[in-house]
Chain A
């Protein structure tokens, strides 16, 4: 549905997005993680044909973002929720959606149906005639998402949809996005909220001007530090640590006085030898568990490592 090849955008001497190559499949919820200034918004703006690319190529649907004639077609099949929701504050919730329906030339009856559907889904139907400016941040954010969906786009771009929201409002917005998954939309979600990305996204890309990593949350958690096991013992001494190292373990770290965190290249193959060596050195094993890095660890390692 979305494909970029070596997509680059420069602002003068500053490179905002550098050589980005990725693919987002149909009906996928794709998370775009990165710190502030990583190029996430610039990428969305390029894909939404709001700003031009400096080099590389990108397609949304079957359309090329660099082709003038295709740009309008792309805008027709996408919905955008920018980081600042930008509602018409003086206008009612209903009018906000209605004008956007008109901008996309949604036929009047269909427009009415869609607006009613979304306002009811969001619990805003009773407030349809209330000015959007009086809404809470969470309500505004949900209304902005509904606005981007009123013309039934194939792709939805969400730029930091839960930033600056309190936890309760953020949850309602997240739940709404999860509901949208059922509508089988392709969702491109910019966020720096790792927990949100992990819970909502099918795949995640980590960007810091350049693409740092790409995969499912589980793949990313395994990607940077290899696989690790924790061996909990009654007690740990130097003999046990040396035995574990001799048995081929990578890094061995003693945690909490009685646990060994061991980096293992291939646990299925190496674990029996390591555990035998520990037992041979007099270790009394209580538990053996596999530990993955958290997405947060992966993210910090990649972003700070750069």
Chain B
């Protein structure tokens, strides 16, 4: 990639942030999904504890691996939330025909793509990270009386939230850029990228069924696979996001 001027990158990202601020649907979705995880799963644990007052430390300890599995929903959120934002950022601009004047500025293709990627990455990830802190605090508050120690933070959770979730988010953003070249409306891009949701659900179900163990080693292997996917899609999306391609080949 050619030299990147981060002032340019930030200008592109700032414009997209400004646009997202005016789209309430994007804000609600970005905040609601992670917050739902942060409040929903502790709520389930609290409800179980309330319904079964005879809950013992041993039964909570045996239940604890599920807590990490719950946190995998943050990865699912990271994989699904950016598609809505990225589709507005790229296909939305394509529909509004605002890409051409943008491409006529002195910024490089790489700066524009990176700026848009940051704009799609930051809001969902900030929302996920804040929600994950809320989740940790609530879960610790609920489980500590039985476990006698703070279950969170632990390395599994840290790997999920700080490594796997961002890599999943990047994967979705790059896939959306690729699909944007072919799509003419925002909804169709969202439907296509929605397909990404399913492999994550499959992984989640497999962990619940104990087919995949949620330990740091497995999570690092998964991260490695995501990283390879990210690198592959990065090259494909940068090859797609070129002035000439956008103006002559994008539909």
Contacts and interface: CB of A to CB of B under 8 A. Distances in A.
Interface of A: 11, 45, 48-52, 72-73, 75-76, 78-82, 84-91, 95, 99-100, 102-105, 131, 144, 147-148
B148 interface: no
Give the 8 A-B residue pairs with the shortest CB-CB distance, closest first: A84-B97, A86-B98, A80-B104, A86-B97, A103-B105, A75-B106, A102-B11, A90-B22
Interface residues of B, number: 27
A76 B247 contact: no
B228 interface: no
A4 to B, nearest CB: 18
Interface of B: 7-8, 11-12, 14-15, 18-19, 22-23, 96-108, 243-244, 247-248
A88 B12 CA distance: 12
Nearest to A44: B104
A90 B102 CA distance: 16
Contacts of B248: 11, 51
A123 to B, nearest CB: 22
Contact of B15 (A72, A84, A99): A99
B145 to A, nearest CB: 49
Contacts, number: 81
8 contacts: A50-B243, A78-B104, A99-B11, A99-B15, A100-B101, A100-B105, A131-B22, A147-B101
Contact of A89 (B15, B96, B105): B96
Please classify the interface of chain A as helix (H, G, I), strand (E, B), loop, or mixed, using the class held by over half of its residues: mixed
Contact of B100 (A79, A82, A102): A82
A72 B108 contact: yes
A99 B97 CA distance: 16
B104 A75 contact: yes
Nearest to B104: A80
Given A82-B97, A144-B101, A105 B7 contact: yes
A252 B97 CA distance: 53
A45 B100 CA distance: 9
B106 A76 contact: yes
Contacts of B14: 99, 102
Nearest to B10: A102
B3 to A, nearest CB: 11
Contact of B23 (A85, A90, A105): A90
Most chain A C-beta atoms within 10 Å of own C-beta, residue among B15, B96, B101, B244: B101
Please classify the interface of chain B as helix (H, G, I), strand (E, B), loop, or mixed, using the class held by over half of its residues: helix
Contacts of B15: 88, 91, 99
A201 to B, nearest CB: 22
Contacts of A49: 243
Given A50-B243, A89-B96, A90-B19, A148 B106 contact: no
Nearest to A84: B97
A167 B104 CA distance: 29
A88 B103 contact: no
A112 B94 CA distance: 28
Contacts of A72: 106, 108
Nearest to A144: B101
A102 B11 CA distance: 6
A93 to B, nearest CB: 14
A50 B18 contact: no
B100 A75 contact: no
Nearest to A76: B106
Contact of B101 (A73, A86, A95): A86
Contacts of A78: 104
Nearest to A72: B106
Contacts of B11: 99, 102-103
A85 B101 CA distance: 8
Contacts of A104: 105-106
B104 A51 contact: no
A202 B7 CA distance: 39
Contacts of A147: 101
A88 B107 contact: no
Nearest to A85: B97
A84 B107 CA distance: 20
A76 B105 CA distance: 7
B99 A91 contact: no
A91 B15 CA distance: 9
B244 A95 contact: no
A50 B105 contact: no
A82 B19 contact: no
Contacts of B243: 49-51
A86 B18 contact: no
Contact of A50 (B8, B97, B106, B247): B247
Contacts of B7: 105
B98 to A, nearest CB: 4
Nearest to B23: A90
A82 B106 CA distance: 16
A95 B22 CA distance: 13
A131 B104 CA distance: 23
A50 B100 contact: yes
A147 B15 CA distance: 15
Contacts of A91: 15, 18-19, 22
